[in-house]
Amino acid sequence: MTDLMQKELDKESKDPLVQEIIVRLATRSNMGIKKYGDTMVTSTKDIIEWIDEAIEENLDAAVYLSKIKKLIKDYRNNV
């Protein structure tokens, strides 16, 4: 990361974790724009499609969190 980029992030937040999220969000957004040729602002999905997208993303998150929880439990049981 360049000093200029860091200075811009510092304007938004002094918290390194928040800065990391800002960078990841921008990176993900740019990848989506490249892949779909559209931004969230100009996307034309209807509200039901947006709800379905959100449900799918949250279902994935639930699976990932369940896996992490299992790994932690297994680790604690083996320590």
- Output the pLDDT for position 4: 62
Contacting residues for 53 by C-beta, under 8 A, at least 6 apart = 45
Name residue 58's amino acid.
N
Q: What is the pLDDT of residue 12?
A: 80
- Hey, where are the domains in the chain? 1-43, 45-79
Side-chain half-sphere CA neighbours of 64 within 13 A:
6
pLDDT, block means (10 residues), the chain with 79 residues: 72 90 94 94 94 98 98 97
> Rounded distance, CA 59 to CA 54, Å?
9
CA distances from 15 to 7, 9, 22 (A): 13, 9, 11
Instruction: Name the 3-class secondary structure at 79.
Output: coil
Would you state the pLDDT for residue 64? 98
